[in-house]
A and B are shown apart, each in its own frame.
Chain A
Amino acid sequence: MKRFLAFFAVCLALCVLCAPAARAVDGYQYSYTYTYDYWEDIRRSPDAYRAKLMISGGALGVPGGLKTPQGLFVRGEDIYICDTGNNRIIQLRLTEDGAQVLRVIDSFSGDTEPKTFSSPRDLFVDENGDLFIADFSNNRVVRLDKDLNWKLSFTKPSDATFDQSMNFLPKKLVADTSGRIYVLAQNVNKGLVKFEANGDFTGFIGASKVRYRWTDYIWKVLSTKEQREQQEAFVPTEYDNVTLDEKGFFYVVTKTFSENELRNGSAEPVRRLNAVGNNILVENGHHFVIGDLQWAAGNTNITNSGPSKFVDVTVLQDDIYTVLDSTHNRLFTYDQQGNMLWAFGGVGNSDGFFNRPVALEHQGLDLLVLDEAGSLTVMTPTEYGKLVYEAIALYRIGDYEGSAETWRQVLAQNANCDSAYVGMGRAFLQQEKYEEAMQYFKMAQDTINYSEAWRLHRMELVEKNVGWVFAIAVVILVVPLAVKRIRFIIWEVKQEP
């Protein structure tokens, strides 16, 4: 019993000695702007964006206001809204405290019928001012020049690869500089429908691969014909929106995935497609690019729960992109490496909150969110947001010192910013201050950079203490031999008489 008690006492003492310092657990869950740390915990962050303007349909001074608008496009100063319910396009410019309507486009001239729109869902304006309009219910995409003269209609492909039993229902589109257009059509899951500049259909690009597991195959074999019909079909996912970045890559978003696929990273709700249609989005962050990691928490007035479902994406400078989520009506910004910079927004009627956001665009660094309820919100970066953008931009052009200095200012405002720790760590690495670099990388849980800093620091340590290393090696190798020899001599001496 005594022994047992002693054993127990030692155990207890050990527990106390090894116990980690208590960590404060912040019970405060709600914030307008936040990010996630390595452990998927919500970390509050200073606001990166604030609502600058909220333009409702009534304030525009156009009859009928905005009725279920679906599409938004920005070209230079001009903002185009697809006023879907009113079958028209509204072109406007922002002013100091509102917006000024430049044009209301509800018909055009030219040798085609009809000359009006029916539920236009999206539009694209090229650099010459040509408009490409996804005229949803008229089953066509029309190309108009900047004076609204009809140039071309893209209609249902007669090709066999396009299901002829279905109507051509274009819902989103982009055009490249040579006038080729890429259309997302409803009920088409083969990817983007590609048309040449002359209107010819030339195939699909970027269809997502069909995935199924071998267990699915076994179920399929075992089930009866009726059961098979009930099961979900293995079809590729349909994309929900598309945008082009400066380099001509497509960013697409999809809402079709299972929660499991999100968790294991195979869902890829945001994709960057190259010309062949492969996803080349970089996801080097601690988490996959899936928006919210906690699916119910984060908002006090939860109306929805579940994973983020992205409806639009826009690509800002330096390959930073922002996605718009329709589950919690939030915006998530990721940097080029796939690290979440911040998340903000929410469900509500006050400025900076949304009811049914459907489209997202950017003008410079400002973000424009179109709400289906009939409003356009213009969000502008705060001091904090601008600093982060600047730090990333400086790093991209190779000004590591300047970048680190900016990251230092970011850290002063937000000690939870992992990117800032990594940014500063990199600068220390450049200056060969490895120990400091290690400290910063460790705080951001960045194992790869930490390893690099440690490797260099370790080399330094070994070089500095090479004398000691040799001394210890000599002691370990030589001393036992010497001792053995001396013992042998003593033994021999004793044997002598």
Chain B
Amino acid sequence: MTAERPFASKGWWRRFWETLKYSFHVLFHPFDGFWDLIHEKRGSIAAANFFVFLLLAGRLMTLQHTSFLFLRVYWNKVNIFQQCISLLLPLGIFCLCNWGLTTLFDGKGTLRDVYMATAYALVPYVLAQLAAIPISNWLTKDEGSFYYVLTSVGLIWSALLLVCSMIQVHDYSLGKTLLFLLMTAVGMVVVVFLLLLFLTLVSDGIGYFVSMYKEINFRLN
């Protein structure tokens, strides 16, 4: 496919646009939508990447442009890379854990499918987040419920889409999907723990050699 439509060629853009538009179909027809997304190749990784990019952009723009009535940002403590990592890392770990676990238990989805489906499932959340920015600047504090309802609806819709996407991608029953979403959450905790452990050990190891180098340097001079 990539061979037929080289990156940024006219055909590529057309397909990119088609797959982007398809996300709206997925929004309202989650079951068919996710099935076709994977099996009829109606989605693309490029579009998925674009949604993840929108997620990051939405987060940053939310921080910057939401009315201070609803969100007050202490800019002294905001680290833009931390903000991006705090979204990308959980997403990445989720996809990996989910794929890893479901592969062991008859899941049909590949890592690519899981990533694509997850990204498409994030669309309502991203859109709600982006829409909430101008809306927050139009509302007063008393009308804040509109803002909160909008953002919560986006979140809940995304969560439901995620469940639907997992059902279709792995060809699971609802119960099995929920169970494996839970297992994925547990798996994510384990992965984070192992990552932390690994990082701590590595930094300790490096620290040992650094201090040894300093000590030797000190003795020699």
Contacts and interface: CB of A to CB of B under 8 A. Distances in A.
Given A15-B81, A450-B69, A3 B53 contact: no
Contacts of B140: 451-452, 454-455, 458
A397 interface: no
A160 interface: no
B68 A14 contact: no
Contacts of A2: 7
B56 A14 contact: yes
- The winner among A6, A452, A454, A458 for most chain B CB atoms within 10 A is A454
Contact of B56 (A6, A11, A452, A458): A11
A493 interface: no
Interface string A1-41: 01100110011001100111001010000000000001100
A38 B61 CA distance: 22
A452 B143 CA distance: 11
Nearest to B59: A18
Contact of B76 (A23, A38, A445, A450): A23
B119 to A, nearest CB: 12
Nearest to B6: A2
A275 interface: no
B49 A7 contact: yes
Interface string A438-465: 0000100101101110110010000000
Contacts of B10: none
Contact of A15 (B7, B69, B80, B142): B80
Interface string B67-88: 0110010111010110010000
A20 B7 contact: no
Contacts of A23: 75-76
A25 B81 contact: no
B142 A445 contact: no
Nearest to A38: B72
A22 to B, nearest CB: 9
Given A23-B75, A447-B141, A455-B140, A3 B60 contact: no
Contacts of B74: 39
B27 interface: no
A451 to B, nearest CB: 4
A448 to B, nearest CB: 6
B46 interface: yes
Nearest to B80: A15
Interface in A447-485: 447-448, 450-452, 454-455, 458
A429 to B, nearest CB: 14
B199 interface: no
A379 B178 CA distance: 68
Nearest to A450: B69
B138 interface: yes
Contacts of A458: 138, 140
A76 B139 CA distance: 52
A18 B64 contact: yes
Contacts of A14: 53, 56-57, 60
A10 B61 CA distance: 15
A11 B76 contact: no
Contacts of A19: 80
Nearest to B52: A7
Contacts of B61: 18
Interface string B160-187: 0000000000000000000000000000
A59 to B, nearest CB: 48
30 contacts: A2-B7, A3-B46, A11-B56, A11-B84, A14-B53, A14-B60, A15-B60, A15-B80, A18-B60, A18-B63, A18-B64, A18-B80, A20-B64, A20-B75, A23-B75, A25-B76, A38-B72, A39-B76, A445-B72, A447-B68, A447-B69, A447-B141, A448-B141, A450-B68, A450-B69, A451-B69, A451-B140, A451-B141, A455-B140, A458-B140
Given A14-B60, A20-B64, 5 more contacts: A11-B53, A14-B53, A18-B80, A445-B72, A458-B138
Interface of B: 7, 46, 49, 53, 56-57, 60-61, 63-64, 68-69, 72, 74-76, 78, 80-81, 84, 138, 140-142
